[in-house]
Amino acid sequence: MPTFLTCSEAETVDLAKRLAATLKPGSTILLYGDLGAGKTVFVRGLAAGLGIDAADVTSPTFVLLQEYHGRLHLFHADLYRLDHPDAIDDLGLEELGAGGIVAIEWADRLPRPPQDAIRVQIEDRGGDRRQITIESSGAVPES
């Protein structure tokens, strides 16, 4: 599992942009990390890498799901406020990604995470530093 240390928000965005370049339709990105770790910042980088204006990406905490259009559609879900498996199942996340990319914040709340998903663990190392571990069966950005 490659682990990266980023020292700014811009470096975190750049890492996610490089990951986005490797993604194919149907890819699912599961994001793990504490509140404020940088999950939404990482999704902004994915969006930028897919040709979406990163400034348009906001945390979907209250609406649960955002959709953005670029080289591939990006479906951005935030499960922070959901704690019941039925509510998560009702989102239909499995069906969304067929023609695009699904990025799920607070993926630890998924009752059945997809086995072939890319797992991104983001840990706050103080200041603007983040340790980001990417677990994938496919391509991963180089350091």
> Model confidence over 100-109: pLDDT tens digits?
899 999 898 8
Parallel, antiparallel, or unpaired for β 65-68 and 28-32?
unpaired
Rounded average pLDDT over 47-59: 90
Query: For the chain, how many structural domains are there in total?
Result: 1
CATH code for position 43? 3.40.50.300
Contact call for residues 38 and 9 (beta carbons, < 8 A): yes
Q: What is the pLDDT of residue 95?
A: 59
Q: How confident is residue 83, by pLDDT bands cut at 50, 70 and 90?
A: low
**Residue 140 belongs to some domain of the structure:** no
Cβ count near 45 (within 10 Å): 26
**Residue 143 belongs to some domain of the structure:** no
Strand intervals (E) in 7-129: 28-32, 65-68, 73-78, 100-105, 118-124
Contact call for residues 80 and 61 (beta carbons, < 8 A): yes
**Residue 99 belongs to some domain of the structure:** yes
Whether pTM exceeds 0.85 = yes
**Residue 103 belongs to some domain of the structure:** yes
Q: What is the pLDDT of residue 96?
A: 58
**Residue 138 belongs to some domain of the structure:** no
Q: How confident is residue 89, by pLDDT bands cut at 50, 70 and 90?
A: low
Q: How confident is residue 64, by pLDDT bands cut at 50, 70 and 90?
A: confident
Which residue range forms the structural domain that includes residue 98? 3-133
Is pLDDT above 60 for 24?
Answer: yes
**Residue 101 belongs to some domain of the structure:** yes
**Residue 142 belongs to some domain of the structure:** no
